[in-house]
Amino acid sequence: MATFTKSKNGYFQVQFNDWNKRIRTISMSPKKYSEETARGLHRIVETLIYKRDNGFDILDKKTQVWIESASSAIQEKLAKVDLISIPERHTVAKLWEKFLFVKEHEEKVKEGTLVNYRMAFRLFFSAFKKDTLLTDFSREQMLEWKQELLRRYKKATVAGIIKQTKAVFNWAVDNQWLQHSPMKGVSKGSFVNAEKDYEVTMEEYHSLLNACPCLEWRAILALTRIGGLRAPSEVLLLRWKDISWEKYEITITSPKTEKQGKPMRILPLFPELRTILEELFSVSAEKEFVINLYRSPNTNLGTPFTRIAKKAGIGKIPRPFDNMRASRATEIHRDYGAKVESAWLGHSTDTALKHYLQVRKSDFARAVGKPVD
């Protein structure tokens, strides 16, 4: 078996006998390697010798991952004493390319998710070289990169980038390209950006309706501001058969909550929403989907919404569809309570508190006894 010693000059040494009974030595400088790393190498050497002496050709997964995740210098030390052949070394570019290919072609994730991953890809390689080996990354480097991102972008944006990068390196660990992720211990931070919260009042909503270019846009606004639907995902999936005029209810298909085992939910057909949908139904009842003019996956609803808001005299509304949903969530929470709001809009109470419930100007006015506009 192998022995572990520490020489007079402080070097860690792992020694063992090869097939010809020659003593082979692996030396590790204390300036480059910790004693913990050296002892870890000693355990790997003992495992390799045991398997060699007992005729095992296949390594166990833990040993294989350790060797593949080790630095190129440690791998070369093991190869120099004929214990291993240098394993394939994956670069970070190969990791990202493989990850994105799997997500797009095998898992077939949504285009919006792919856009987020591609953004993280661009920002990652604005800081790191593509030919860097995965084993050469450290947690300290990732922390420094996060701090650099925070100097350039808002916290919510950085949280998304870190989240996607974590997913990439976790994939490397799951597929045995790495033993440990350098992103472990690097917190995402908060996705909440209160600066972009905006209450879309009912007065503004009616102004937006009057500025719409067609009935479908009136329906889009009603579904998001009155129905609280997510746009574009839930809005574009809505079919006429999902609307029960007799029961006054709508069945909402939700890709967002499908993975949590909740692919759909039931929403009341609010009178304000029913009126708008009946207008559209009168001219498009023969069609399958409620919204048809904007079904292209490349359609950006934000651009025409900005034109509508400008025509309505409101100006730019940040994150318009999120804020219309949030405005409705706040009203339902106030009028019916947290449990009902969670069931109708399809998110947890914790999510509502973090992302949807708003502090409204009208609430402040009511609190101090002023007339509510």
Q: Which helix (H) or strand (E) holds 206?
A: helix 202-210
pLDDT of residue 372: 53
CATH number of the domain enclosing 278: 1.10.443.10
- Mark whether 139 and 37 lie in a shared domain: no
Burial class (CB in 10 A: 0-12, 13-18, 19+), 114: middle
Whether residue 350 is predicted with pLDDT greater than 70 in this model: the reply is: no
Q: What ranges make up the beta strands (E) of 289-340?
A: none
Q: 24: part of which helix (H) or strand (E)?
A: strand 23-28
226 and 186 together in one domain: no
Residues 75 and 109 occupy one common structural domain: no
Shared domain for 263 and 346, answered yes or no, is yes
Q: How confident is the model at residue 354 (pLDDT cuts 50, 70, 90)?
A: low
- Determine the length of the chain: 373
Q: Looking at the structure, do residues 229 and 357 belong to the same domain, yes or no?
A: yes
Token digits of residue 60 = 């166990």
- Residue-wise pLDDT for 245-257, tens only, equals 999 999 999 887 7
Which has the higher per-residue pLDDT, 228 or 62? 228
How many domains does the chain contain in total? 3
- The answer to whether residue 372 sits within a structural domain is no
Domain membership flag for residue 86:
no
User: Where among 80, 113, 147 does a domain terminate?
Assistant: 80
User: In which residue are the tokens 């650099």 written?
Assistant: 148
The answer to whether 56 and 101 are in contact (CB under 8 A) is no
The verdict on 362 and 219 lying in the same domain is yes
Q: What is the mean pLDDT of residues 21-47?
A: 91
Q: Is residue 373 part of a domain?
A: no
Same-domain check for residues 116 and 41? no
Determine the Cα–Cα distance for residues 333 and 352; give it in Å rounded to an integer: 9
Q: 98 or 342: whose pLDDT is higher?
A: 98
Instruction: State yes or no: pLDDT of 190 exceeds 90.
Output: no
Give the mean model confidence (pLDDT) for residues 278-282: 97
Residue identified by tokens 């309570």 is 337
- Per-residue exposure over 175-207, b if at least 16 CB sit within 10 Å of its own CB, e if not: eebbbebbbeebebbeeeeeeebbbbbeebbeb
pLDDT at 62 over 90: no
pLDDT at 147: 92
Domain that holds residue 127: 92-191
- Whether 149 and 72 map to the same domain: the answer is no
Grouping H, G, I as helix, E, B as strand and the rest as coil, residue 249 is strand
Report the CATH number at residue 175. 1.10.150
Q: Tell me: the pLDDT tens digits for 255-271?
A: 877 777 888 999 999 99
**Taking all residues of the chain, what is their mean pLDDT, rounded to a whole number?**
87
For residue 304, the model assigns a pLDDT of: 94
Instruction: Quote the pLDDT of residue 8.
Output: 86
Task: Indicate whether 87 belongs to any domain.
Answer: no
Local structure of 244: helix, strand or coil = strand
Question: Given 135, 157, 191, which residue is the final one in a domain?
Answer: 191
Write down the pLDDT at residue 156. Answer: 83
Query: If you average pLDDT over residues 341-362, what whole number do you get?
Result: 64
- For 47-66, what is the mean pLDDT? 83
Q: What is the largest CA-CA distance in the chain?
A: 95
**Measuring CA to CA, which residue among 228, 255, 246 is closest to residue 358?**
228
Neighbours of 10 (CB within 10 A): 9
Indicate if 213 and 289 belong to the same structural domain: yes
pLDDT surpasses 60 at 346: yes
Average pLDDT of the residues in 313-341: 90
| Of 186, 183, 336, 351, residue with least CA distance to 260 | 351
269, 329: one domain? yes
Of 155-164, 209-218, 306-315, minimum mean pLDDT range: 155-164
Q: Sheet of 23-28: strands edge to edge?
A: 3-6, 12-17, 23-28
52 has a pLDDT exceeding 70? yes
**pLDDT beyond 80 at 92:** yes
191: which 2 tokens?
Answer: 């996705």
pLDDT, average across residues 47-57: 84
